[in-house]
Structure 1
């Protein structure tokens, strides 16, 4: 049987620790408790969702125009882990044992509070330099500064520097995954596609565009790799 929302009808106490979360157990889970707290405090959260199945009791998703707020329960102590997610990045994250504070934080974010203002009012939330750069509108240069200055990317340093010297490639949002330098064509919309430059074990480079199945090519120098990468940019 289901509860009419494609969720299994069940006793919340089967999934919640009643000693840690007596309020959530009584109200039918995390999402239901957030809705009730919002109503009780005259806070307008248009929608509060949950994951399907048993996870409905321990998860909550609050979709807002500025991104989605995800809340997850702690298992060993009363704790609400919170993440504010944008389309292609995390705005802020944190945790607290006070669910009302989470609801008030969500309301502040809904109303347009800045990252600095959010952290000042809700010290349990923190954000990165990159998140602040997204807010100011210049995440690309900040991300390049991070990659070029981080010792963790020492193996890719020569390639990163060469790519950064190419004016048109320097305008793309870079990140490194499994040794591959990935250049996002649009830092706000990852579905716009990426260009990948992967150093190979034999000293060669593999270059490809995620927008074309037939784009993969292997070349012998970073200069050739950059030339191919440039050819994959939209006209």
Structure 2
């Protein structure tokens, strides 16, 4: 017999995490950033993670994470959002809006990226 955790699909796990982050009942990350990321269909397929107030994405639902795509940092003193590459390496650009920032993240995704799979990075 399979327990509930085993019966859940990767899509279910990803959707649950997005739902939690979109709910805004946490102080992990700005919910506006989550909404802007979630508006991108390709990012919705990935598992969202948060570290130090920055949203990033994994190609799997478990740990260790399989980092894919860039990261959008909160608005800086210059009024712009800084978009970094995967694992925060390199700069993809600076944008005036979160929508533009996450569009840059999507534009930098590998063609074969997503949807997320169950398990840790060894599964991707």
Same fold (TM over 0.5): yes
SS state of the match for residue 193, structure 1? strand
Change (3 A) 1:214 1:171: same
Gaps of 5+ in 2: 112-124
2:103 aligned with 1:231: no
Aligned partner of 2:73 among 173, 188, 198: 198
For 1:42, the equivalent position in structure 2 comes to: none
Matched positions, count = 107
Q: Which has the higher contact order (CA 8 A, sep 6+)?
A: 2
Equivalent residues in 2 for 1:10-89, closer than 5 Å: none
What is the Cα deviation at residue 211 of structure 1? 6.6
Larger Rg: 1
For 1:185, the equivalent position in structure 2 comes to: 59
Gaps of 5+ in 1: 1-112, 117-131
8 Å CA contact 1:173, 1:185 repeated in 2: yes
Change (3 A) 1:178 1:135: farther
In the superposition, the TM-score normalised over structure 2's length comes to 0.69
2:47 aligned with 1:168: no
Aligned partner of 1:147 among 21, 30, 36: 21
Aligned partner of 1:156 among 30, 49, 52: 30
What do the CA deviations read for 1:63-106 (whole angstroms, capped 9, x no partner)? xxxxxxxxxxxxxxxxxxxxxxxxxxxxxxxxxxxxxxxxxxxx
Alpha-carbon distance between aligned partners in 2 of 1:135 and 1:150, rounded to the nearest angstrom:
27
8 Å CA contact 1:184, 1:195 repeated in 2: no
